[in-house]
Structure 1
């Protein structure tokens, strides 16, 4: 990151930071897609087991790894304040905390996964594959969470292109080990869907090794000597990370878990409806990578300016990001409106499923427009380290407004399954408006605090 003075320069720097983040997020999305797609070639039980396992794992990972995203605004503000000496200490404490989080996940998973799977109405082969897929993934949790901290460190420096390259390298590694372990090629055991779990775990170890080497050997990361000093555990720094990170993680969990809840509620409908819903949901999740990436870029840019006490620059980046997200949402909305059949045909060849999916994709237009406003504002607020109110607003928009209104529309109107989408879009819209009000309040408060400090 570096200071800019003109809006044109800010736009160029923002795009330089944003594009690698977007490619990285799409790459991470593609890894999960590869697991499901390649498992499908092994058999219907395999794809079902991996899909169930993924649906349980993704909300847990995104929520708990969200805690570690606190590293980004903390380091971004340290850089903006030119306090570089504190950065390696922050990174190492983040690594310690990530390992503790993994231990908690492993202990909790060992106690709850089997009972949870037994509660589901699954065929025995599917239940078994889901369990062993998750067990295989567990071997890669430590490297995944440690990598998340190192990625936050690199991104906070504005070097998002590096983590993009690492993610792109991970895709062929993941595809190779999927091929070897799912199908039992070149003397490897044929593990079916479970092999996808081991392949992903191996991939996580590989990308951690690559990232550690880069952090140790390559500029500008090597100048911080992250691994040079063995720091003692600092509960004070953990408290700072958790104070910012827990609300971020919970806000992300509220958002990702809502889709799991809707999927469970959709089980009352026929197979065609469920399949069509899943198509629209998966494509909407793919499109969400755009506002999510803009959100992450804003955390870096706004955090840097806030650390440097540059009020107007932080505000300009905020509106630049929100405007970019809305513009992209309009473009993707037009694509959804013009090509719903083409999109649905990517996922299915069943004419009934495609026909119904077209209707779900229409409602996805409004869903992603609301996301385009809310997600970037959350990112900007994280740059200010303002996360607690965002957590409350996420809870209200999804679980107090979105899901209940969706349930009422689905159960007591002729909208049926489409009611859930309308309800969630309504919740997102209300949440986006409340977040915007919060952003304006924080911007004005930050300006007043700086003016007061200048007069004293």
Structure 2
């Protein structure tokens, strides 16, 4: 079969899997967008506080999500290799991993939140950010459970129910945000205090917990063997269960760290920009939030690629795995060009949706131009990383992303923002992001070519 005919069929399969994943991702980012927009209409200081808090918890959550992607690859391989008895046991290992890591990361957010007033000069923004983090931290164990159940369903090509639950959570987030931001007053009695931007964290925490419980109920009814005791011996330390848990942790931790490296770059940028004032921080958050929304499209293709490439690898079809990876990268490049065009042409209009403050709108619009430019390297690198996850080549991806994002991207951004003769401020950091992402895209494509050819040669040697 020619690559063109393969790509035509595989692109349709990828889209069928990626579109519900995309809706799930957009619903997730939509909750963050609602927090940003609704806190912005309370005050610019509330928006800045929520922006700082979101810039901290989002990369931590994405580390957890990256960790749990390992379950997706493992389940896809087991399912395509007809090892169906292993699938529910892998889910059990994923649930244990998600709950343990979710608890640890929730405690980490509490510690970070307590330290924020020491780092941030503006007391109001610091207090909003601190209590926003303290409100959202208790939901992280539930997030770990939700992610395990989600990636299990997506690996079995059943993402629809996950999408419906996420969209329900997004719909619930609107009234809950309003409720906790503005409070409830009955006559002269304050039934619920008005928490301002902090209320967004409380609402998100409630929604995350609801989604985990809803997906757990759905999984037990629809995707497990009849009568399978999901919780029986779930904490057992028998040898096979320990192996599954340790293997998933070995594969997943580098994935989580790689995602953390990328997103924490935005976090570090937001924190370092606090010295330039709340308007710069708020404008930076506008550009980050728009970029997060557009990133969900290529990220969804990447997650679908992990499942589909894993499917071919489970069948020992290494040529198919390579063709599938190339198809996904090509699809992401088309998405990048569309995203960049929309952001570039609509920068002013998009920024005005986030705040009534003209200074915030102007700053956000100027940074959106740079956000449009980095769409191309960002979509290429995320698709390539998704394919490499299926090959379980996660440690190399972690090293590449660290060097590209932090050594190249952050250092160049720092120089352009503060150290050159005419400092560029926030724009300098965004140019650094573009440089870092381009380096990551080139290195990951090179790595994918090496790994893919290695598997094909190994198969040819075995056949000979």
Give me the TM-score of the superposition, normalised by structure 1. Answer: 0.91
User: Which residue pairs with 1:189 in the alignment?
Assistant: 192
User: Which residue pairs with 2:304 in the alignment?
Assistant: 297
**Is 1:227 aligned to residue 230 of structure 2?**
yes
User: Which residue pairs with 2:17 in the alignment?
Assistant: 17
**CA separation in 2, counterparts of 1:112 and 1:357?**
27
Contact kept in structure 1, 2:25 and 2:296, CA below 8 Å:
yes
Of 376, 382, 391, the match for 1:375 = 382
User: Which residue pairs with 1:138 in the alignment?
Assistant: 137
**CA separation in 2, counterparts of 1:383 and 1:69?**
10
User: Which residue pairs with 1:73 in the alignment?
Assistant: 73
User: Which residue pairs with 2:207 in the alignment?
Assistant: 203
User: Which residue pairs with 1:434 in the alignment?
Assistant: 443
User: Which residue pairs with 2:345 in the alignment?
Assistant: 338
Contact kept in structure 1, 2:44 and 2:282, CA below 8 Å:
no
Equivalent pairs counted in the alignment come to: 449
Structure 1 residues 400-436: Cα deviation after superposition (integer angstroms, max 9, x where no partner): 1111112222321546132222222111111101100
Structure 1 residues 211-266: Cα deviation after superposition (integer angstroms, max 9, x where no partner): 11211112x44569361743413332221011101100110110011011112232
How many Å apart are 1:196 and its aligned residue?
2.5
Deviates more, 1:161-170 or 1:224-233: 224-233
Distance 1:171 1:87, change over 3 A: same
Contact kept in structure 1, 2:21 and 2:163, CA below 8 Å:
yes
Deviates more, 1:286-295 or 1:31-40: 31-40
SS across alignment from 2:122: coil
**CA separation in 1, counterparts of 2:35 and 2:454?**
46
SS across alignment from 1:84: coil
**CA separation in 1, counterparts of 2:457 and 2:53?**
49
Contact kept in structure 2, 1:88 and 1:224, CA below 8 Å:
no
Structure 1 residues 276-309: Cα deviation after superposition (integer angstroms, max 9, x where no partner): 3333222222211122111111111111111111
**CA separation in 2, counterparts of 1:127 and 1:270?**
12
- Provide structure 1 residue ranges, at least 5 long, that are not aligned to the other structure: none
Contact kept in structure 1, 2:71 and 2:248, CA below 8 Å:
yes
**CA separation in 2, counterparts of 1:280 and 1:50?**
14
How many Å apart are 1:65 and its aligned residue?
3.2
**CA separation in 1, counterparts of 2:359 and 2:179?**
35
**CA separation in 2, counterparts of 1:184 and 1:268?**
32
Deviates more, 1:276-285 or 1:315-324: 276-285
**Is 1:172 aligned to residue 171 of structure 2?**
yes
User: Which residue pairs with 1:452 in the alignment?
Assistant: 461
Contact kept in structure 1, 2:26 and 2:296, CA below 8 Å:
yes
Please report the RMSD computed on the Cα atoms of aligned residues, expressed in angstroms. 2.4
SS across alignment from 1:139: helix
**CA separation in 2, counterparts of 1:75 and 1:334?**
37
Contact kept in structure 1, 2:64 and 2:144, CA below 8 Å:
no
Deviates more, 1:129-138 or 1:94-103: 129-138
List aligned pairs for 1:222-301, cutoff 5 A. Answer: 222=225, 225=228, 227=230, 229-231=232-234, 232-233=236-237, 234-269=241-276, 272-301=279-308
How many Å apart are 1:273 and its aligned residue?
4.3
**CA separation in 1, counterparts of 2:364 and 2:135?**
33
**CA separation in 2, counterparts of 1:55 and 1:271?**
14
SS across alignment from 2:157: coil
User: Which residue pairs with 2:413 in the alignment?
Assistant: 406
Contact kept in structure 2, 1:216 and 1:226, CA below 8 Å:
no
User: Which residue pairs with 1:89 in the alignment?
Assistant: 89
Distance 1:426 1:239, change over 3 A: same
**CA separation in 2, counterparts of 1:376 and 1:22?**
14
How many Å apart are 1:190 and its aligned residue?
2.4
Deviates more, 1:111-120 or 1:365-374: 111-120
Contact kept in structure 2, 1:181 and 1:195, CA below 8 Å:
yes
Deviates more, 1:187-196 or 1:157-166: 187-196
User: Which residue pairs with 2:50 in the alignment?
Assistant: 50
Deviates more, 1:80-89 or 1:104-113: 104-113
**CA separation in 1, counterparts of 2:357 and 2:349?**
13
Contact kept in structure 2, 1:91 and 1:226, CA below 8 Å:
no
Contact kept in structure 2, 1:279 and 1:344, CA below 8 Å:
yes
